[in-house]
Amino acid sequence: MKLIIAIVQDEDAARLVSNLMNEGYSVTKLATTGGFLRAGNTTLLLGVDEEKFQGAMDVIEKVCKSRKQIATSPSPVAGTTGVYVPYPIEVMVGGATVFVLNVEQFIKL
């Protein structure tokens, strides 16, 4: 058995959970916050048998695509100290960060 920990952008979470459940996977959803853009994201936990592992990964890959987004980044104003003006920068968002762990024991009470 494997434990899949998938961290996805909030924008993709509902569709991913729906697709995984339609394929017969049980999913636990946690609201989390990312460190890079300080934006909300969602962490999903899935316990899957070895033979269903690749199917779950295929669903995650299909739903969670990377895309470009405009974000603001503070920049110092020339000649001043401690004054910052936000300016737009293009960043890649979306996709998924996935951790896969082997599970030695699974107990459901």
Number of structural domains the chain divides into: 1
End-to-end CA distance of the chain: 17
| Domain region containing 51 | 2-67+94-102
In a domain, 19, yes or no: yes
58: left (phi over 0), alpha (psi -120 to 50) or beta: alpha
Element (H, E) at 45: strand 40-48
- Distance CA(93)–CA(106), nearest Å, equals 34
| Global pTM value | 0.74
- Tell me, letter by letter, the H, E, C secondary structure of 85-107: EEEEEEEEEECEEEEEEECCCCC
Q: Where are the alpha helices (H) located in 7-100, listed in sequence order?
A: 10-22, 50-63
In a domain, 22, yes or no: yes
In a domain, 14, yes or no: yes
In a domain, 55, yes or no: yes
- Distance CA(102)–CA(104), nearest Å, equals 6
Spell out the per-residue pLDDT of the chain, length 109, in tens: 999 999 998 888 999 999 999 999 999 999 888 765 566 789 999 999 999 999 999 999 999 987 676 666 655 555 555 556 566 766 665 678 999 999 999 888 8
